Amino acid sequence: MLKNLYIEWLKIRRYRTFWVFSILFLVTILGINYISYEIKESTSASSVFGSPFRFPHVWQTITWLSSYSLFIPGILMITFFTNEYTYRTHRQNIIDGWSRAEFIHVKLAMIGIIAVLTTFIAFLNVLLFGLSTASSFSLDKIEYLFYFFIQALSYTSVAFIIALLVKRSGLAVVLYLSYAFIIDNVFKLLLNKYFWQTGNYLPLETTDVLIPLPFFGNVLPYQANHTTALIMAFIYLVAYYLFANWKFKTADL
Amino acid sequence: MQNSVLQIDKIDKHYGTLQALRQVSFNVPKGSVFGILGPNGSGKTTLLGIIMDVLKASSGSYQWFGEPPTSNQRKRMGSLLETPNFYHYLSAIDNLKISAAIKGVEDSHIHSVLEKVNLGERKYSKFKTFSLGMKQRLAIAACLLGNPEVLVFDEPTNGLDPVGIAEIRNLIQQLASDGKTIIMASHLLDEVEKVCTHVAILQKGKLLANGHVQDILSNDDIVELSCNNIELLQKVALQITGHTKLEQKENTILLFFPSGSANLESINQTCFQHHITLTHLVLKKRSLESKFFELTNA
């Protein structure tokens, strides 16, 4: 697998889009956190519930805010994968001697790596903002970082599945963004309203609800069951894996 | 069969209601230059796609080196299917690094294969800046990585200029003389005749014939005769023994003989005995083209 990951690295290391996306992601995640930090720290609202950027609350705050930038690694994944279809290199890799399983597994491993790196960047943001409030470092509530990792896996996987299905980058990106930001939320509202709150367990919602809104305390009327949400997230991830594997192994490439 | 590099057994391929391949079976002997000949849309590329595992057969099976297909076998082959497939944003050398890494071939081979196809000077240029012919040559360079025993080429001279075509044909002949097995799809009859030892003819997904090129593509001797008195010549020609068919084409009589059995000397003698002085006497192998049309129109 390491050798195959090295081959993926050969594909992207001189790919300018990859570097531009990575820098944009860093800027975006820092920007989202900074904007909220400035607003919260300069308003008196923070004093009522305690500053959300102080340890231990900062774990939840930063991961919740950072999750709004997860569409960038998603689009990056779409670009990686649809490139193979555009250049027909998915065929060439197989012809050159990869098995279909190897091809799909290394892509799934890339999702894992993207999620780890994304989580690490969120962790650096936690340190940066948490420590700049002059609060003392605490591992209390670090579980939010794990939830963020699951969320990153989930967002990148959904992007990957869409890319696998539509194969064209433009269409895949539009579908992904409208699903992640609008369609998923519309279905959530409808299902929550008419079908006993099941909307919270939609593919992206189930990881969104793992990290609830960190501001204003717990004033929201309903919060999803954490354990159920986590179990659903795992079920989805396994389903993505099985589907991608089956699809790529049986399709004409 | 021990001597077969590839055995294809009753392969069918459907695309919805369209049947692209019907019960195709043949063997590719080790060391042969095996041409798969057929008009456009006859299923050549589909067949090559199946044996390289980028397409799935609807039914039937194939074996490489006498064993069920695996990805590791493909590492011992060089293949060019349809169009050259490379990362457009990478240079020639970076693209070949990926192919070499997948095949488990040392990077040091890259330089020599690029030289072999005359791309040495452009190795740091991005693939997207290449002309069609250069892309094709890069794809052939990728096929040569690791000095594979088997080469699979789909229309290898596609998009090349006459010099490039000649170069690639020489290269194929050179590879064949090194003992490599070459499987090559082509719609160009004379390409197959020039470089192949064996041929399989496909039409609308059906295998029409396969075997040695000389058996399949030229199994008749044709003798062309003409003189000033064509009516007399026709009468006399009927008395010539051993011919299977006689045709008259304007002022020429065509006599067909089984391969290798036409004897010009005795034909000339027979005519002379009947006071005919021939103005034209030529032995021709049946033209590849006419044979091909005959086969594919059957």
Instruction: Provide the shortest C-alpha distance from residue B74 to chain A (in Å).
Output: 5
Q: Which is more confidently placed, A47 or B135?
A: B135
| Closest CA in chain A for residue B52 | A95
- CATH number of the domain within which B37 lies: 3.40.50.300
Task: State pLDDT tens for residues B255-277.
Answer: 888 877 888 888 898 888 888 89
Confidence grade of residue B1 (pLDDT, cut at 50, 70, 90): very low
**Whether A22 contacts chain B with CB within 8 A:** no
Confidence grade of residue B216 (pLDDT, cut at 50, 70, 90): confident
**Whether A97 contacts chain B with CB within 8 A:** yes
Instruction: Over range A84-112, report the average pLDDT.
Output: 95
Same domain for B69 and B26, yes or no, is yes
**Whether A91 contacts chain B with CB within 8 A:** yes
Last residue of a domain, one of B182, B216, B250: B216
Same domain for B212 and B255, yes or no, is no
Same domain for B157 and B15, yes or no, is yes
Same domain for B199 and B278, yes or no, is no
Provide the pLDDT for residue B160.
81
| Closest CA in chain B for residue A91 | B54
**Whether B148 contacts chain A with CB within 8 A:** no
Alpha helices in chain A (DSSP H): 2-12, 16-42, 45-49, 57-66, 71-86, 89-96, 100-132, 143-166, 169-178, 184-194, 205-208, 226-250
**Whether B116 contacts chain A with CB within 8 A:** no
Same domain for B161 and B276, yes or no, is no
Which residue in the set B74, B75, B101 is minimally distant from A10, CB to CB? B101
Which residue in the set B56, B87, B99 is minimally distant from A96, CB to CB? B99
Same domain for B93 and B234, yes or no, is no
Q: Which is more confidently placed, A33 or A135?
A: A33
Provide the pLDDT for residue B187.
83
Provide ipTM, 2 decimals.
0.88
Share of chain B above pLDDT 90, in %: 47
Same domain for B135 and B236, yes or no, is no
- Got the DSSP string for B185-216? EES-HHHHHHH-SEEEEEETTEEEEEEEHHHH
Provide the pLDDT for residue A204.
87
- CATH number of the domain within which B271 lies: 3.30.70.980
- B87: nearest Cα among A106, A87, A13: A87
Least confident residue range of A161-175, B31-45, B185-199: B185-199
**Whether A12 contacts chain B with CB within 8 A:** no
Same domain for B158 and B255, yes or no, is no
Q: Which is more confidently placed, A157 or A45?
A: A157
Domain-wise residue ranges, chain A = 2-250
Provide the pLDDT for residue A140.
86
Host domain of residue B240: 220-296
Amino acid occupying residue B115: E
Last residue of a domain, one of B216, B233, B257: B216
- The number of domains in chain B is 2
Task: State pLDDT tens for residues B21-69.
Answer: 999 999 999 999 999 998 888 899 999 999 999 999 999 999 999 999 9
- Got the DSSP string for A34-101? HHHHHHHHHSTHHHHH--TTSTTHHHHHHHHHHGGGTHHHHHHHHHHHHHHHHTTHHHHHHHHT--HH
Same domain for B112 and B130, yes or no, is yes
pLDDT above 90: residue A67: yes
Mean pLDDT of chain A: 89
Last residue of a domain, one of B168, B183, B216: B216
Share of chain A above pLDDT 90, in %: 65
Share of chain B above pLDDT 70, in %: 94
Same domain for B145 and B34, yes or no, is yes
